[in-house]
Amino acid sequence: MSITAEHAASLASKPSRPAVTAVQAYGNKLGLWNMWVAFAALAVGLPMGLFQAAERSGFFPGIENTAVYFASTSTHGVLMAFVLTTFFAMGWGYHTMAHSVNKKPFFGWTSFWVALIGTVMAAIPLLTGYASVLYTFYPPEMAHPSFYLGATLLVVGSWFWVADMIIAFVQWKKENPGKPIPAVMFMFTMTALLWGWTSLGVGSESLFQLLPVAFGLTPTIDVGLARTLFSWTLHSIVYFWLMPAYIAMYVILPREAGGKLFSDEFARIAFVLLFIFSVPIGFHHLYLDPQQAAGWKLLHMFGTFMVAVPTFLTGFTVLASMEIAGRLRGGKGLFGWIGALDWNNPIVLAGGLSLLMLTVGGWGGVLNASYTWDVMVHNTQWITGHFHLIFGGTTVIMYLAAAYWLWPKITGNALYSRALAVWQMWLYFIGMVVLTGPWHVLGLIGQPRRVSFTDQYAAFPEYAQMWGIYEALMIVGALLVVVSGFMFIYNLFMTHFNKVPAADTKVEYAVAIHEPMRLPNVLNSLAFWNWAMVAYMLLSYGYPILQFFFMAGDKTIPWGV
Amino acid sequence: MTPEEEKKILASSPMGTWVILAVYGVLFTLAWLGMYALFLSHGPVS
């Protein structure tokens, strides 16, 4: 599906559209297809979330069906956590590759089609109830083989994208020796590299454990090993979701706000720290698993706390960039810049709302990482509330903002309705707060997660009475989020076919206050961090994985033995 | 805004951001410890 020079020329001839190179036109088209798949997944997955909130509330006996609930939960999870995120990152990544370093990918459409075929293969058993195993790949729950094959293909498709990003990065560096690679490309390639490392865990579990059992080639599965391998993926995947959201905050928001990026170097440091600190720390998902020793869990706990450093650095740099923009717009005093910002710009608004959700979600994350505290909320709805606030809230709202920025630049058409976008952002934020606040409370008062409550309500009416108000609030929150989601899809669709040309289609990223002329090699290359990752992974996961091959049984293993 | 004023703003320290993050850091820590106090006061899980 290559683009011809004539097509590129015809795109360039649209009114107000600056000339795009054939490479950029290719990146636009590839990016657009990938991101439409991502947002199609969002459109399909959102109503499922509302159904789940309603089904498990006990308020609507007519829709109660445990089998449908778990099929819906699994599909919702896979669509949101894997399909939306992977296709969005690939789409914007390919767009960035074309526009920041003018490189054409080798595997662009291969990546897209392999991932899409995988998605369809996984969707069929999910929707027909043959893969109601949630998105967490935890045996002994087993799905139809085509689910694992499809999920593996989705990951393999994304590996082509990872390879493309790294190849483009290395090529540009060779062609421009000593020059700093554009920060946006540095950040996206770090994201791709992180995903390459992250996905190895679930990839290994799927290839060597789940698929052989699903096909009947092996009779049993080592659950401890499978959960350990998935923990490798399970937390760092959150940063694969978050990093494109942070990229939007670093490279789009400051310019849209009317200012500059506070520090290019801080952005790069935050990304290398996110890369290094977020992968080898997955044991906080195994705190109550008996197969890993307490000492390793303690090590991973301290590792997890380290992620707070780049998160705070990101919060500081983005907020400082917003402060500069507000002051340039006339804001005075310590906080006058907040009121001076253009909150009717959907990207500025999304940035502010996303940071607000991050303040609470990040705090909840540190609690979850705290070994003894995690015991209290383990497998409760607190956890589900937490990851919906961080992913559905903090992360996805920035995806939506980035789409509002990207669509006019890719299609050449003006954003259909800026006012609708602003209302949509507010509704999304309010919906997320109303949805996830009660969810956290439900966890604290003991409601377990991953349970359809259809039957249990009848057996424990006193619990139903205690949970009822929170369940009701969650349904309201979920409804607001779904309405907001469809407002977004409608706005995007109408933008796509808008006859009004966009006023500004040039892709320009935020400029730093002090643009770096030269950078230390560690902030301008991948090799050092890649080797650092090898060392850290061997240290934190080497023994915990190898033990399964040398020790029998599933009892807790003492520290160092 | 004159170029001098713009230059001054770009060269200034983001004081508002420092204050927000400092207040947030304190609240973050207090709330973290507060959650321990709230739940540990109930004693061990039985």
| HEC assignment per residue over A37-101 | HHHHHHHHHHHHHHHHHHHCCCCCHHHCCHHHHHHHHHHHHHHHHHHHHHHHHHHHHHHHHHHHC
The answer to whether A366 contacts chain B (CB < 8 Å) is yes
Distance between CA atoms of residues A554 and B21, nearest Å = 45
Of B10, B15, B45, the CB nearest to A513: B10
Least Cα distance to A280 among A549, A548, A539, A560 occurs for A539
Confirm if A154 and A122 have CB atoms less than 8 A apart: yes
Cβ-based neighbour number of residue B21 at 10 Å: 17
Q: What is the reported pLDDT for A468?
A: 85
Instruction: Say if the Cβ atoms of A338 and B17 lie within 8 Å.
Output: no
Cis peptide before A438 (omega within 30 of 0): no
Residues of chain A predicted below pLDDT 70: 1-18, 454-458, 552-561
Instruction: Say if the Cβ atoms of B14 and A328 lie within 8 Å.
Output: no
- State pLDDT tens for residues A482-511: 999 999 999 999 999 999 999 989 999 999
Distance between CA atoms of residues B13 and B22, nearest Å = 14
ipTM of the complex: 0.92
Confirm if A464 and A58 have CB atoms less than 8 A apart: yes
- Active site residue ranges of A: 235, 239, 386-388, 449-450
For residue A129, CA distances in Å to A68, A75, A210, A229, A260 come to: 7, 9, 18, 25, 50
Give residue limits of the domains in chain B: 13-46
Half-sphere exposure of A76 (CA within 13 A, CB side): 18
The gap between the terminal CA atoms of chain A, to the nearest Å, is 56
Confirm if A539 and A274 have CB atoms less than 8 A apart: no
Element (H, E) at A246: helix A236-247
Torsion of CA A296, A298, A303, A307, to 10 degrees: 140
Q: What is the reported pLDDT for A556?
A: 43
Q: What is the reported pLDDT for B43?
A: 64
Q: What is the reported pLDDT for A57?
A: 87
Nearest CA in chain A to B26: A363
Q: Which domains does chain A have, with CATH numbers?
A: 30-550 (1.20.210.10)
pTM above 0.90, yes or no: yes
Distance between CA atoms of residues A28 and A25, nearest Å = 5
User: Would you say residue B8 has pLDDT above 80?
Assistant: yes
Q: What is the reported pLDDT for A299?
A: 92
